[in-house]
């Protein structure tokens, strides 16, 4: 299984995490799996870098964490979105969409125009 590694764009990691958490509470391993699965392995993150990002988000009050027991029976830290995190997610999504639209427009421009 050869993975296509693509460097994530600056700042998209937070967006990915927030989005992954928008479906419910997850622990770190689940988050990375969820992103890999949904993106069909096209988006891959350096898994260690997930944790500083999670702590940063927790520090900003966008996610909150709680220790619980994983399906495998081990204790794991579960993260979930806060209200602030939810509105942050919406904001980042709309940012991203407008950015993507802009990029698309530029990439689609006619040579002659």
Partner 1 sequence: MTTTERFRWVRTKLRRLFRRGQQEAAMDAEMQFHFDQLVAEFRASGLSEAAAHRAALREFGTTDAYREEMRDTWRWPALADLWRDLRFAARSLLRTPGFALLAILTLGLGVGVNTAMFSVVNGVALKPLPYRDADQVDRIYRRTSAEPTGALSVPDYREFRAAASSIYSEIAGFSFGDVSLADEGQPAQFASGMRVSAEFFQLLGLPPVQGRAFQLDETQRGNDAVVILSNRLWQNNFGSRPDILGQQIRIDGRAHTVVGVMPATFNEWRHWGWVDLFRPLAFSTAAESAREQPTVGVIARRAPDIDAATANAFVSNFGERLARDYPELHAESAFYTRTLPDTVTGFDTKITLSMLLGLSGFVVLIACSNLANFLLARTMARSREHAVRAALGASRAQLLRPLLAESLLLALAGSALAVVCAIGASDWLRVRSTGDNGEQVIFALDWSVLGWALLCSLLTAIAFGLAPSLFTLRLDLNNALKSGGRGTTGSRRQNRLRHLLIVGQFALAMVLLTGSAVFVSALSDLNERREGWDSERLVTGTFLLPEARYDTPDAITAFQDRALERLRALPGVNQAAFSTHPPFFSWSETRRFIVDRQERPAPGREPAAVVNVTTPDYLATVQTPLLSGRDFALTDRADSTPVMLINADLAQVLFGNADPLGQRLAFVADGSPQWIEVVGVVGNVRNSEAEAASIPHQVYLPMAQRPAAYHEIAVRTASGNPDAMVPAIRSIFTELDPDLPIRDLKSADQRIARFNYQVGVLRDMLTAFATLGTALAAIGIFGVITRTMAQRRHEFGVRLALGAQVSDITRLVLGSGVRLALTGAIIGLVGGVGLSKLLAIGFPNMDLARPAVMAFTALGLIGIALLACYLPARRASRIDPVESLRAE
Binding site for partner 1 (CB under 8 A): 1, 27-29, 32, 46-52, 55-56, 58-61, 64, 67, 70, 72, 74-77, 82-84
Measured distance CA(35)–CA(40) in Å, rounded: 8
Q: Which is nearer to partner 1, 58 or 80 (CB)?
A: 58
Q: Which is nearer to partner 1, 49 or 101 (CB)?
A: 49
Q: What dihedral angle (degrees, nearest 10) is formed by the CA atoms of 89, 19, 71, 64?
A: -20
In angstroms, rounded to a whole number, what is the distance separating the alpha carbons of residues 24 and 30? 11
Asked if 15 and 89 count as a contact pair (C-beta separation under 8 A), the reply is yes
Which lies closer to partner 1 via its Cβ, residue 70 or residue 101? Answer: 70
Q: Which is nearer to partner 1, 68 or 101 (CB)?
A: 68
Which parts of the chain are beta strand (E)?
Answer: 26-27, 63-69, 75-81
Token reading at 26: 């997850």
């Amino acid at each position: 299984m050869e993975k296509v590694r693509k460097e994530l764009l600056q700042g998209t990691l937070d967006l990915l995490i927030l989005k992954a958490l928008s479906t419910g509470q997850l622990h770190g391993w689940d988050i990375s799996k969820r992103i890999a699965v949904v993106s069909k392995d096209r988006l891959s993150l350096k898994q260690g870098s997930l944790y500083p990002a999670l702590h940063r988000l927790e520090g900003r009050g966008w996610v909150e964490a709680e220790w619980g027991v994983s399906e495998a029976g081990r204790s794991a830290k579960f993260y979930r979105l806060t209200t602030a995190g939810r509105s942050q997610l919406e904001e980042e999504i709309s940012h991203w969409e407008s950015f993507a639209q802009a990029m698309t427009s530029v990439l689609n421009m006619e040579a002659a125009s």
